[in-house]
Structure 1
Amino acid sequence: MKQTFLVVVIALITFGCKNDKATTDATVEEQTSISEDGKTAKQSDGFIAIQGNFLYVEKDNAAVLQTPTQMYGVIVDDMMKELNKQVEVYKTEPYQMVPVTIRARIFKKEGATNEWENKVEIKEILKVSEPTKEDSDIVKLGS
């Protein structure tokens, strides 16, 4: 009687574990569905991950993103304002730039005379980091 009970318990544990793994594999496949060209849905949406320093000046209603090679004007919208809320936590000076990583759409502003030629429209906020002492760019106006 004890042997039969032991065999039934071992069988239930073995089959129970196999079902959990199959369910987990199915959910992972659903999350990372790959299209025919070998890219995930997130990679195929046309947005680019950009890492740089962000600054928003509310009184001028202007925002910029400085990367190591390029300076971008940032479209002021709800996503930019959400990013600014997250950035404010790390700012110690009003004109301090804070390192961020975003996913955005990049485009050129044709005929821009007093604006940045290259613009970004923020689509997703990936990361906001605390500025380091060495990299902390602070723009001070006046004397």
Structure 2
Amino acid sequence: MKKLFILLLTITTLSSCKNDAKTETVDNNDLTLIQGDFVYYADAAVIQTRQDVYGVIIDEKMLELDKQVKPFKVEITDMIPVEIKGKLIPKPEGEEGWPFRVEIVEIIKVSKPDPNKNDVVKLGGEE
């Protein structure tokens, strides 16, 4: 799991998100609108915006989002543009990961990735 975390961190760090991503509070229920790129791979889920990276709580809503993004994926590690409303939850003290997790409350939109966007990082080489 630690190697997976490092792999996801490396992928998100090396890829530059060129979307107009934003995070803003949208109502009194402490829900936050998040637009960014989503990936779920090997029991780890992440949404990366232009400014932040959020761990996503794996629950039924996250699995529903994963089903919606699958038709747009070419590789299992592809990040797909999404827009969601969720609750930001601070990471427990002493635990690895990003400062906040998001619990998805509502899936607003899933978009097809820009085919001209070439920010994929491939590890290893083909012989």
TM above 0.5, one fold?
yes
**Deviation readout 1:112-133 (Å, 9 max, x if unpaired):** 4432221100000000000002
Higher strand fraction: Structure 1 or Structure 2?
A: 2
**Deviation readout 1:49-92 (Å, 9 max, x if unpaired):** 110000000x2x00000000000000000000000000001001
Q: With structure 2 as the length reference, what TM-score do the two structures score?
A: 0.71
Task: Give the root-mean-square deviation of aligned CA atoms.
Answer: 1.8
Amino acid at match of 1:51: Q
Q: 1:75 aligns with which of 32, 53, 57?
A: 57
Larger radius of gyration: 1
Number of residue equivalences: 100
Q: Which residue of 2 aligns with 1:130?
A: 112
Q: Which residue of 2 aligns with 1:29?
A: none
- The separation in 2 between residues aligned to 1:136 and 1:104, in whole angstroms, is 29
> Which structure would you say has the larger RCO, counting Cα contacts within 8 Å and 6 or more residues apart?
2
Higher helix fraction: Structure 1 or Structure 2?
A: 1
Structure 1 unaligned regions, length at least 5: 1-41
Amino acid at match of 1:100: V
Q: Which residue of 1 aligns with 2:19?
A: none
Contact 1:96 1:137 in 2 (8 A): no
Q: How far does residue 110 in structure 1 lie from its aligned partner after superposition?
A: 2.7
Structure 2 unaligned regions, length at least 5: 1-25
Quote the sequence identity (%): 43
